[in-house]
Structure 1
Amino acid sequence: MKARDITLVAILSASLTAGKIVLMAIPNIEIVTFLMIAFTILFGARKALLAALVFVTTEVLMYGFGTWILGYYIIWPVLILLTHTIVKQTESEYVFSVLAAIYGFLFGFFFAIFESIFYGVSYGIAYWISGIPFDIVHGISNFIIVLVLFKPLIHSLRLILSKWHVETR
């Protein structure tokens, strides 16, 4: 990797961390999903995956290790790979809004699988059921965030990046 790419990955990772921290006080309202989708569209899967790995590792350093971290190391790369696959077909904000919504709705279910592995199936089911109200908020807010911010951010970043001669996908 070139120094420029390493710097870009660091900036993307820092943006993910800052975005998470800014909205941390509001339960299950986040822009990490949106940013992961946008970064994949703009910079490709490789740079987005690297940024996601740095972001998750930073999360470990900030909050300590827990079963959730294993989910983070899987769920964000899966979102990036799904986005990478979808963007070959379309760049519709509606498609990515639906993807983000589904991700939000299934977030608790996905982590319940990991909880089941460590603490048993009944615990995983209880974990998932108790989090359904949060998953509903998460899915709806993801849908709205992507729908509202997708076009303006992608358009603005493409303009800025072209002026700085930064390669985009």
Structure 2
Amino acid sequence: MISHNTYRLTVIAMLGALAVIGRIAFANIPNVQPVTVIVIMAGLFLGAGPAIMLAIVITFVTNMLLGMGIWSVWQVVCWGMIGGLSGLFSHLLLRVNVIFLIFYSVLCGYGYGLLISIPTFQITGDFWPYYLAGLPFDTYHAIGNAFFMALLYKPLSYLLEKYNEKYLRK
């Protein structure tokens, strides 16, 4: 019989693989990728810790293929915060319908863009021009999040709920 911890790591690894494949597959469309939604889903169903761990793994694996830089640290911070907050507020977010979660994922796309732009202020001293120039890309991210949440919520929530029923609610 597979132990709870082994199964949990397997679920996290499968979510990570899905996110890595999705990010690589959509690399030609700026800022459109399923990572944010998968991290949100991990936070909702597995908790803040696994979501943060997933954010770290996804960022470093994909950036080894797409390019590593100082932004990698801030990607971990941003996706980790999104996953952590999703886990922290999962008791509220799991009570709402998928339309609200789509809206939440859109807000996370814009929040990610804002947070990842803040370190630029420390480097260049010009936050607003940089942030405003990146706003169209944040919009791509937000629209991509809405698309991926609408596409992935039902199958992932079904699988993750089955995991929770079997291993967490005994």
Assess same fold via TM > 0.5.
yes
Structure 2 SS opposite 1:88: helix
2:19 aligned to 7, 16, 26, which one?
Answer: 16
- State how far apart, in whole Å, the 1-side matches of 2:46 and 2:121 are: 35
Confirm whether residue 58 of structure 1 aligns to residue 61 of structure 2.
Answer: yes
Cα root mean square deviation, aligned: 2.6
Report the Cα offset of residue 125 of structure 1. Answer: 2.7
Report matched runs for 1:154-165 at 5 Å.
154-159=157-162, 161=163, 165=166
1:105 aligned to 107, 110, 132, which one?
Answer: 110
- State how far apart, in whole Å, the 2-side matches of 1:7 and 1:151 are: 20
Confirm whether residue 121 of structure 1 aligns to residue 125 of structure 2.
Answer: yes
- TM-score normalized with structure 2 length: 0.79
Q: Is the 8 A contact 1:67 1:115 kept in 2?
A: no
Question: Could you say if the C-alpha distance between residues 60 and 145 of structure 1 is closer, same or farther in structure 2, counting changes exceeding 3 Å?
Answer: closer
Aligned residues: 164
* Structure 2 gap ranges (5+): none
1:142 counterpart residue number: 145
Any idea what the Cα deviations from partners look like across 1:77-116, whole Å, max 9, x if unmatched? 1101211122112312233222211121233322221112
Q: Is the 8 A contact 1:43 1:167 kept in 2?
A: no
* Structure 1 gap ranges (5+): none
2:52 counterpart residue number: 49
Question: Could you say if the C-alpha distance between residues 15 and 84 of structure 1 is closer, same or farther in structure 2, counting changes exceeding 3 Å?
Answer: same
Any idea what the Cα deviations from partners look like across 1:41-83, whole Å, max 9, x if unmatched? 2222222222221112223432443221121121111101211
Structure 2 SS opposite 1:89: helix
- State how far apart, in whole Å, the 2-side matches of 1:81 and 1:40 are: 6
2:86 counterpart residue number: 83
Q: Is the 8 A contact 2:19 2:58 kept in 1?
A: yes
Question: Could you say if the C-alpha distance between residues 52 and 106 of structure 1 is closer, same or farther in structure 2, counting changes exceeding 3 Å?
Answer: closer
User: What letter corresponds to residue 78 of structure 1 in structure 2?
Assistant: M
Identity of aligned residues (%): 23
- TM-score normalized with structure 1 length: 0.80
Any idea what the Cα deviations from partners look like across 1:111-167, whole Å, max 9, x if unmatched? 22111222x222x333212111121222233224323432343124534x479x555
